[in-house]
Every structure is written in structure tokens, then in C-alpha cells.
Amino acid sequence: MTPPLPRFHRQPPERQAAILAVARRHFAEHGPRDASYNKIIEAAGISKTAAYHYFDGREDLLGAVLDDVLARLLDVLGPWTPASGADAFWERLEHGTDALARHLGEHPDDLALAAEAVAHDESAAWLGWFTALVADGQRIGVIRTDLDSGLLVAATAGVLRAADEWALIALAAGGEPDREQVWTLLRGLWGQGTATGEGQGERTDAH
């Protein structure tokens, strides 16, 4: 996949957003592999001639949509900022994951494409957020240091992605997800067999 062609970026931002929104809806509804390129550009009000001035083809449009979905998710999370201590760390994490779960619940197109967006181009930006989280947690003694940091980053991202899906399923069924189960899972991932001190990974707040 290549980025959109320069002429696309010369369109007004609202026009770019409108085209990507139409494409996002089609890819979410029909699937990244099955959505029709011709139907997308027709729904977006773009002629075939103009479409090929914006994108090299269907795969490039899909790549632009996935990049946009990922940017939207990262915008919801906001940059990870260093925590002053364990309580602040857990509060920051809980706020971010709750905001992301709400966003995915309110934007089903993003939810449908989230996994594909995260996997797109190895998702360096997405893993960068979790890299900052893990490094900060290790700095303040919340996260173990006896395992490879890359493994911890990948595992943490996987747990929280699964937790968001689990929470949304529970909410759709009329239930109330017990977030403490997620924190228990993360404490086990981050704090067992550590080499950084007794009690690492335990939350000290009342969440």
C-alpha cells in the first residue's frame, strides 16, 4: 500500500475527511477484502478519473482509511505522559482505556476496522503508545523488568485490545463489565516473577 497521491492531500481537509468517512463505512460494512472500490468512489461522489488522481487503486484507499482509523484511536488515547507514581499510572491507564472503549462503542466503523488498522504496516505508532506505557511503568516499579520489553509491549497491547472487545460485548448484552478483571490480568502479566522489588504491580488505589 502506498500513501494517497499528492492531489488528494491538496483537497480541503473536510473533503478528505468526507471521502475517508464514506470509504470507512463501506470497508467496515463489507470487509476490507470485499468492499467494492467502484461503489466507494461512486458513493463519495468521485469520478473514476478523479479517483485515480487521488489513489493508485483500491488497496491504497484501504491503506488511507486504516491509517485514518488508527490516528482516530490514538487521538482518543492521547499521548502517554509520565506518571508521578503507581496511583497516577493506573488512573491514566484506566482513563485512556475507558475513553477508547466508549469511542469504539460509539463508532462501529472504527470498531470493525480497529484490528486491521492496528496490524496495518506493523502499526509502529500504535505500539509506540504501549512502548511509552511499559517504559513508564518500569520506571516507577509497576511493571516487571525481567522480561524483554518488546514482548511486554506486544502482550500489553494484546490484553487491552481484547479487554475493549470483551467490555463492548458485555455492554451490548446489557451487562456491566468488571474492569477489575482486566487490571488483575495486567497485574499478573506485569508483576509475577519480577526482579524489581516486592509488591511490584499491585494497585494501591481503590478502583
Write out pLDDT tens, residues 147-182.
Answer: 999 999 999 988 988 887 787 787 777 777 788 898
Domain boundaries, the chain: 6-65, 78-191
Sequence-separated (6 or more) residues with CB below 8 Å from residue 203:
86, 87, 90, 183, 187
The class (CATH top level) of 6-65 is mainly alpha
pTM for this model (two decimals): 0.80
Q: What nine digits make up the cell of 122?
A: 506493523
* Per-residue pLDDT tens digits for 41-57: 999 999 888 888 888 88
Mean of the per-residue pLDDT values for the chain? 85
Highest mean pLDDT among 38-42, 112-116, 193-197: 38-42
Q: How confident is the model at residue 204 (pLDDT cuts 50, 70, 90)?
A: very low
- At residue 5, the pLDDT reads 67
Instruction: Judge contact between 136 and 194, C-beta under 8 A.
Output: no
Count CB atoms within 10 A of the CB of residue 172: 9
* Span 110-156, pLDDT tens digits: 989 988 888 876 668 888 999 999 999 999 999 999 999 999 999 99
Query: Which residues does 176 contact at the CB level (< 8 Å), separation at least 6?
Result: 170
The DSSP string of the chain is --PPPHHHHTS-HHHHHHHHHHHHHHHHHH-TTT--HHHHHHHTT--HHHHHHH-SSHHHHHHHHHHHHHHHHHHHH------SSHHHHHHHHHHHHHHHHHHHHH-HHHHHHHHHHHHGGGGHHHHHHHHHHHHHHHHTTSS-SSS-HHHHHHHHHHHHHHHHHHHHHHHHTT----HHHHHHHHHHHHHTT-SS-TTTT---S--
